[in-house]
A and B are shown apart, each in its own frame.
Chain A
C-alpha cells in the first residue's frame, strides 16, 4: 500500500514564529488532506489539496503531485495552533492512509 511520511515528528515554536510541515507519499493520489487534531481528539479539516496551492488565513498548503509531497505552512503561530497535524492520502477509493503526524507545541 501507499506510504506516508511526515516531518518533523515534533516541533516546538515560540508564539509568532513561522513553520513548514512536510508530507511525502509513495504513489500518485486522488485525495490529500491536512488535519489538525486538538487535545480532545477532534480531527479538524484544514485542507483538501490533491494538487496545487491553497490558503486559509495564516495557514497555506502546497501539493506537488508529480514529486509526491505536500507542505503545510503556518505563519505567525499562536498557542491555539498546538496539537498534532496529520497528512492523509487516498489512491484506492476512500481509504485514507495517514502519516505519523507532526506534534506541534507553540509556547507563549
Chain B
C-alpha cells in the first residue's frame, strides 16, 4: 500500500514569489492535514481538508492557502514568499478525526 506522497521534495524560491506543494494521501484516506516545521517554532498545524472542505485552520496568515480535489489529493499554496517561510512542509492523511495520521516525507522549501 503506497504511503503519503509529497512533491516536490526540495524547492528553492526567492522572496515575493509564490509556490504550490502537492500531497497525495494514502488510498481511501479522505482527510489531509498540512504542517510546517521550523527550528524556531517546531511543528505547527496549518490546515486540514476533508472531502474537499477546509475544516480546520491554524494560526497562519492568509498567504497560506490550500485546497483538496475530489480524489483527496491536496495542494497548498504560499504567496508572496518571505524568508521566514523557509521550512519543512509536511502533509499527513488519515481516515478522519481521532484516527492516526500518516506523514509524507515532506517538501523542504528554501527562500533566498
Interface residues of A (CB under 8 A from B): 30-31, 33, 35, 40-43, 45, 48, 50, 86, 88, 90, 92-98, 100-101
CA distance A43 to B42 in the complex (A): 13
Q: Label chain B's interface by main secondary structure.
A: strand
Q: A33-B101, A43-B90 are in contact. Are A98 and B42 (CB under 8 A)?
A: yes
The answer to whether A96 touches B101 (Cβ under 8 A) is yes
A52 to chain B, nearest CB (A): 14
Is A41's CB under 8 angstroms from B106's CB?
Answer: yes
Contacting residues, chain A, for B50 (C-beta < 8 A): 94
- With A and B bound together, what is the CA distance between A50 and B98 in angstroms? 9
Give bound CA distance, A42 to B4, whole Å. Answer: 11
How many residue pairs bridge A and B at CB < 8 Å?
66
Give, as a whole number of angstroms, the nearest-CB distance from A61 to chain B. 13
Distance from B68 Cβ to chain A, minimum over Cβ atoms (Å): 13
**0/1 per residue, B78-112, Cβ < 8 Å to A?**
00000000001010101011111111011010000
Q: Chain B residues with Cβ under 8 A from A97's Cβ?
A: 45
Chain B nearest CB: distance from A43 CB in Å?
Answer: 4
Rounded to whole Å, the gap between the CB of A55 and the closest CB of chain B is: 17
What distance in Å separates the Cβ of A31 from its nearest Cβ neighbour in chain B?
Answer: 5
